[in-house]
Structure 1
Amino acid sequence: MITSTANPKVKRLVTLRKKRRARDEEQVFLAEGLRMFREIPGEMLRELYVSETFYGRERELADRKAGQAGVRPEILSDHVFGYVSDTKTPQGVLCVAGRMPGVSREKLLRPDESGKMPLLMVLDNLQDPGNLGTIVRTGEGAGVTGIFLGRDCVDLYNPKTIRSTMGSIYRMPCLYVDDVPELLGQMKQEKIRTFAAHLEGKRAYDEEDYTGGCAFLMGNEGNGLRREVAELADTWIRIPMEGEVESLNVAIASTVLMFEAGRQRRIRDKSSIES
């Protein structure tokens, strides 16, 4: 059992928690909590750290999951686990996870093996890790096929982002891009329609057709989409507001758009089956 915060393994965990560069160099991220532990695919579990209390309570689960991944649990005293944890009330289990195998931009821009058309999110300069994690989570639920992030977005592997995904980080393809305008040009070549969520949108979001390949462009929490990105979209859309509300949180607005696209696609698929 590790009982000192000066232990090299403990110092490394703290560095991975705090520093994006360290996570990028090792191509790993930290996934903390029982749910994240239960859902992690065996091939992504690199290391497992458990508190003394957790191991005493969940030893069978910890040993089984670790054994399936070919690793062994490293036990930390409760005090040391609290030191490496990113939460105020640690659940006592922390995974060092390898990242999802890389997916190419070309694959995300084309229909999948079943013929499902791309339903994509393009995130430009998002800065809040909770918003990003929520978009990843709700995107999976809505049937989004991939998420593109500009290089100026918050780190996808920030512990707060990971926690907000509630496990969807293990399954949702996400790809950083250096040049968002270039990506949008490639989308046009692939006949993917792009919709900019914008306060100046002339069309309500539920007046458009999202049953073909499409992408929603979402901007910074405070400033919205950069003008040069918004102007490349095929259509500007808005979510109608009542009262004195001007706009929604970017994660909530993304959820409204993603689930509208999912709803339209379910209706289309149902009609195809019935006909």
Structure 2
Amino acid sequence: MINSTSNRQVKRVADLRGKAKVRREEGMFVAEGLRMCRELSPGEVDTLFVTEDFQKDRENRRWLTHFQYETVTDVVMKSMADTQSPQGVLAIVRQRNYSLEDILSTPLKQALLILETLQDPGNLGTILRAGEGAGITGVIMNRETADIYNPKVIRSTMGSILRVPFVYVEDLKPACEVIKREGVRLFAAHLKGMNNYDQEDYTDNVGFLIGNEARGLTEETAALADAYVKIPMAGRVESLNAAIAASVLMFEAARQRRNKWFPSG
């Protein structure tokens, strides 16, 4: 049993949790909590840590038969975890690797999110979680976007990071050109939009461009859009949070597709 917070493995978890550079160099990230860890296959897990109390539960013991694991004290688990009340299970996990080609090869109608320099980990995590709910087929981000393996992102995705494909690209412009050549029409929420967002047709292959929380899309990236749309505001609100705006667009696409493919009556 590991009972010291100065243990080498415990320090490794702390480094992976706190430093994006270490996560990139090792190709690992930290996942915690029963819901998240139970979605992991043994091949994805580098190291699994559990407490004695966690092992007392019969269902947990049955699940653990598929893994090799380290037992740690409650104090050590609390030092490794990023939450105030850890659930007694935490894993070092191998990062997923997707390419733009992987995302574009889906047989489904595309519903892509293209993110430019989003900085808030909570926004990024919310976008992945809401995106899965809306049926998006992939997320494309520039390198300046927050690290998707940040613990705050991982936690706020509620497991969607394991199910939604994503990729970072060096430059959004050539990536968007490839996407458009594949027949995907790009939309940007923009103050210059001629139509409200719900007046456009999203039932074919579409992608939504979402910009930085404070500055929005750069002119260069906005120019890649085939159409600008606006989300009408009541009151004195000028714009929406990036994650909310992305959710509005994604769920409108989902609504239109349901109505087209599964009309009521």
TM-score range, shorter chain: over 0.9
- Structure 2 counterparts to residues 213-252 of structure 1, below 5 A: 213-252=205-244
Instruction: Quote the Cα distance in structure 1 between the aligned partners of 2:80 and 2:30.
Output: 11
Instruction: Quote the Cα distance in structure 1 between the aligned partners of 2:31 and 2:113.
Output: 23
Tell me if structure 1 keeps the 8 A contact 2:28–2:93.
Answer: yes
- Structure 2 counterparts to residues 52-201 of structure 1, below 5 A: 52-56=52-56, 58=57, 60-68=58-66, 71-100=67-96, 102-110=97-105, 112-113=106-107, 116-201=108-193
Cα distance per residue 1:27-81 (max 9 Å; x no partner): 221111121123333432332112233333x3x334433332xx32211111111
Instruction: Quote the Cα distance in structure 2 between the aligned partners of 1:92 and 1:237.
Output: 46
Structure 1 residue ranges, 4+ long, deviating more than 4 angstroms after superposition = none
CA gap of 1:41–1:253, structure 2 versus 1, over 3 A, is farther
Identity among equivalent positions (%) equals: 49
RMSD: 1.7
Aligned positions, number: 265
CA gap of 1:28–1:65, structure 2 versus 1, over 3 A, is farther
Query: In the alignment, is residue 7 of structure 1 matched against residue 18 of structure 2?
Result: no
Tell me if structure 2 keeps the 8 A contact 1:40–1:167.
Answer: no
Instruction: Quote the Cα distance in structure 1 between the aligned partners of 2:163 and 2:43.
Output: 13
In the TM superposition, residue 136 of structure 1 has moved relative to its aligned partner by 0.6
In the TM superposition, residue 208 of structure 1 has moved relative to its aligned partner by 0.5
Tell me if structure 1 keeps the 8 A contact 2:197–2:231.
Answer: yes
Q: Tell me, which stretches of 5 or more residues in structure 2 are unaligned?
A: none
- For 1:174, the aligned partner's letter is F
Q: TM-score, normalised by structure 1?
A: 0.91
In the TM superposition, residue 255 of structure 1 has moved relative to its aligned partner by 0.8
Cα distance per residue 1:135-155 (max 9 Å; x no partner): 111111111000001100000
* Corresponding residue number in structure 1 for 2:194: 202
* Corresponding residue number in structure 2 for 1:46: 46
**Which segment drifts farther, 128-137 or 15-24?**
15-24
Q: TM-score, normalised by structure 2?
A: 0.94
Cα distance per residue 1:177-205 (max 9 Å; x no partner): 11101111112211211001123322211
Instruction: Quote the Cα distance in structure 2 between the aligned partners of 1:216 and 1:254.
Output: 8
